[in-house]
Amino acid sequence: MKRNQDASGQAMLDYLNGKRSFEICERDDGSICVSPGPAGYFSPYRKWSPHEKKAVRYAKGKVLDVGCGAGRHALYLQSRGLDVVGIDISPRAIEVCRRRGLKQTKVMSIAQLSSRMGAFDTIIMFGNNFGLFANPGRARWLLRRFHKMTSPSGRILAQTLDPYKTTDPLHLSYHRRNRGRGRMAGQARIRIRYRDLTTPWFDYLLVSRKEMREIVKETGWKVARFIDSGGPNYIAVIEKKT
């Protein structure tokens, strides 16, 4: 990622340096939303939601944090004695993680992951990072790759949001638009803006529980359980088929 594209990373870095920061998420239908700021990327364990606290207990052994952001999950697991590697496509996010004490980090995208990194026992994709799979085909390709780079008892902890749990006419219209273009309803094309920085456009995949089960089929994985938040957000514990 080029420096003028690292909008999220710069927002995190500014927050770490005591500056007020924010993110604007722009969708390809022209809709925008403004985040409350990157404070959530830095929240300590005591402020996590109950379903995140429950899900993180499933992390074991050597852990890979995909899209680690400011490192809140990786740092917590590291503090519990686990061997954790954090990756993010954002160089500034990785700088934030290193400054906060995360010992093992690497600037890389999810598509660059392979068994050359070694074998992991747990891959975490918190912060709705199931979305980084982008589309069903890419998700299946990456899940098969994850299968090769995890131990026999490996698992994935993946967080997402059910896009159908909304009554917002703007989102419902976007779902119809997506289906008309042969895309999944929750396959959002977005970019992030902060000050004079803008990320490239990228797809971000939001799925229902049923859709997730369908995507995971034939990849060597199965959804073992869902951990609900009481709202549209949920976390899946995905385990290897035996």
Is 33 within a domain?
no
Residue that the structure tokens 């364990």 belong to: 45
Is 21 within a domain?
no
Is 86 within a domain?
yes
Mean pLDDT within 187-207: 97
Question: Which of 1-5, 78-82, 208-212, 225-229 shows the lowest mean pLDDT across its residues?
Answer: 1-5
Domain count of the fold of the chain: 1
Is 152 within a domain?
yes
Is 69 within a domain?
yes
Backbone angles phi, psi at 150, to 5 degrees: -125, 155
pLDDT tens per residue, range 160-181: 999 999 999 999 999 999 999 9
Q: What span, in angstroms and rounded, lies between the C-alpha atoms of 120 and 241?
A: 16
Rg over CA atoms, the chain: 17
pLDDT tens per residue, range 27-57: 999 999 998 889 999 999 999 999 999 999 9
Sequence-distant (6+) residues with CB within 8 A of 53 are 45
Element (H, E) at 79: helix 72-79
Confidence of residue 72 (pLDDT cuts 50, 70, 90): very high
Sequence-distant (6+) residues with CB within 8 A of 184 are 135, 136, 178, 205, 207, 211
Extract the runs of DSSP E, i.e. beta strands, from 101-206: 105-107, 120-125, 150-161, 187-194, 197-198, 202-205
Angle, in degrees to the nearest 10, between helices 136-148 and 209-216 = 60
> Given this model, what pLDDT does residue 103 score?
98
Question: What is the extent of the structural domain holding 182?
Answer: 49-187+205-240
Q: What is the mean pLDDT of the chain?
A: 97
- Report yes or no: 85 and 106 within 8 Å, Cβ to Cβ: yes
Is 109 within a domain?
yes
Q: What span, in angstroms and rounded, lies between the C-alpha atoms of 155 and 63?
A: 10
* Exposure class string for 120-146: b at 16+ Cβ within 10 A, else e: bbbbbbbbbbbbbbbebeebbebbebb
> Given this model, what pLDDT does residue 1 score?
83
Q: What span, in angstroms and rounded, lies between the C-alpha atoms of 140 and 136?
A: 6
- CA dihedral 122→55→158→188, nearest 10 degrees, is -160
Q: What span, in angstroms and rounded, lies between the C-alpha atoms of 149 and 116?
A: 8
- Residue 138: give its domain's CATH number: 3.40.50.150
Is 193 within a domain?
no
Neighbours of 95 (CB within 10 A): 18
